């Protein structure tokens, strides 16, 4: 098993190119199954989750080949409708095959999904959505089994207890492209990754209105064509490198970013005292002068993203004063706190709140990553910790960050991957 060593004290400087979005690529890959001809998806990151989804598509009978950040998907052999546990257990996004299989095969059998251990992640909204389209759903032996000979458009309310569901929106969107008549999704997720999937489906010939809003209107059509499409940049990777520049008091320019997708992160960093300059060429992030504490509320998009909560906490752990981070999406997403405290941070958890008292310095320590974003946060803390930080269980990183240690090293960090 591999681990990452970080020796703190280096100021990051230079340029870094941001990879394509994992969370946009995964639903786009699944949507490509609905085409009558092959699709070429560009700007695809080399990540384990992408490889897993490619295996899911192959299991369903399609062809998927990744080369030079370009993914060729040929859906002509798509004739199976079961996504097995061995693949789905490692990645929650595999559940997207539910909507695609219903749309194309009129039947789907998908293992209940896995992924990071950050809290209860029910799929009740997914099932509610496809049932309202006419699917009959049963859950047996750890699998969701859905059948629908005739999907019929209707109005579906997808509001959940923690806000809109990205995954449920994707699944209902995919299934509704084959439904007879008009489907209206109310309280749809407005996240950029959903809008990117809408744009991809529209390029294929789907009739969809309201991309980027909480109300999607889909006119069902049976025949879609394969297209060439480039996915959006990864806003979470971009945000992580913004925090890396800030925590080391560095000067880093990010290439290939979308400013509109990062407004909440940009605003919070500026509130803390970080200088963020936005231009058509990219973001320039400079850590100049002293920082101020800040309170962070995690909210559905366009609020501060839950996938950046751990990273911003690493920065706040080094800022004098008291900050409060409130997590409203996942109840178990403070697992990184215990490892940060091993590095000298002073963070106390009170239910959904983390009270962060900034300390003069962090110290290197052996730590263990609990999930994908916690892995990144521990690396960020290690960048400024005194001595060496050894991060174990880094297989999470390879699910969401493409060569993060190489990108950080190119900016001047003392970081390496070890067996």
CA distance 20 to 247: 24
The interaxial angle of helices 22-31 and 192-204, nearest 10 deg, is: 30
In the structure encoding, which two tokens stand for residue 290, read together? 């002293």
Pick the catalytic residue: 116, 168, 347, 381?
116
Residue 140 backbone phi and psi in degrees, to 5: -140, 135
Least Cα distance to 172 among 30, 300, 23, 55 occurs for 30
In terms of C-beta density within 10 A (0-12 exposed, 13-18 middle, 19 or more buried), how is residue 256 classed?
middle
CA distance 138 to 146: 6
State yes or no: is 116 an active-site residue: yes
Residue 245 backbone phi and psi in degrees, to 5: -65, -40
CA distance 158 to 164: 6
Tally helices (H) and strands (E) across the chain.
Answer: 14, 26
**Active site residue ranges:** 116
């Amino acid at each position: 098993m591999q681990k990452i060593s970080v020796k703190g004290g280096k100021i990051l400087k230079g340029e870094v190119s941001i990879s394509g979005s994992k969370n946009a690529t995964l639903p786009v890959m699944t949507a490509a199954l609905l085409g009558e001809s092959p699709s070429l998806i560009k700007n695809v990151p080399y990540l384990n989750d992408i490889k897993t989804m490619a295996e899911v598509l192959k299991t369903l009978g399609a062809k998927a080949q990744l080369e030079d950040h370009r993914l060729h998907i040929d859906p002509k052999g798509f004739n199976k409708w079961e996504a097995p546990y061995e693949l789905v257990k490692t990645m929650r996004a595999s559940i997207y095959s539910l909507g695609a299989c219903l749309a194309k095969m009129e039947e789907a059998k998908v293992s209940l999904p896995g992924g990071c251990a950050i809290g209860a992640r029910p799929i009740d909204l997914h099932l509610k959505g496809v049932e309202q389209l006419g699917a009959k759903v049963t859950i047996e032996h750890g699998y969701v089994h859905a059948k629908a000979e005739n999907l019929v458009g209707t109005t579906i309310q997808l509001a959940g207890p923690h806000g809109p569901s990205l995954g449920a929106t994707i699944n209902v969107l995919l299934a509704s492209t084959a439904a007879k008549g008009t489907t209206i999704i109310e309280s749809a997720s407005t996240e950029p990754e959903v809008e990117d999937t809408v744009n991809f489906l529209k390029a294929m010939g789907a009739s969809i209105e309201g991309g980027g809003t909480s109300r999607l209107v889909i006119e069902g059509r049976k025949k879609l064509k394969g297209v060439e499409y480039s996915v959006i940049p990864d806003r979470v990777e971009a945000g992580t490198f913004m925090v890396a520049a800030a925590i080391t008091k560095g000067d880093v320019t990010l290439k290939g970013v979308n400013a509109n997708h990062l407004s909440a992160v940009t605003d919070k960093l500026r509130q803390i005292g970080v200088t963020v300059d936005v231009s058509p060429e990219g973001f320039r992030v400079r850590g100049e002068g002293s920082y101020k504490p800040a309170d962070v509320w995690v909210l559905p998009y366009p609020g501060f993203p839950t996938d950046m909560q751990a990273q911003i906490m690493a920065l706040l752990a080094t800022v004098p004063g008291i900050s409060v981070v409130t997590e409203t999406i996942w109840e178990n997403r403070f697992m990184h706190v215990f490892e940060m405290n091993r590095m000298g941070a002073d963070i106390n958890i009170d239910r959904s709140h983390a009270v962060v008292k900034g300390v003069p310095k962090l110290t290197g320590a052996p730590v263990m990553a609990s999930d994908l974003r916690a892995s990144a946060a521990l690396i960020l803390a290690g960048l400024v910790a005194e001595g060496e930080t050894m991060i174990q269980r880094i297989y999470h990183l390879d699910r969401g960050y493409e060569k993060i240690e190489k990108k950080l090293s190119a900016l001047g960090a003392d970081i390496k991957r070890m067996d």
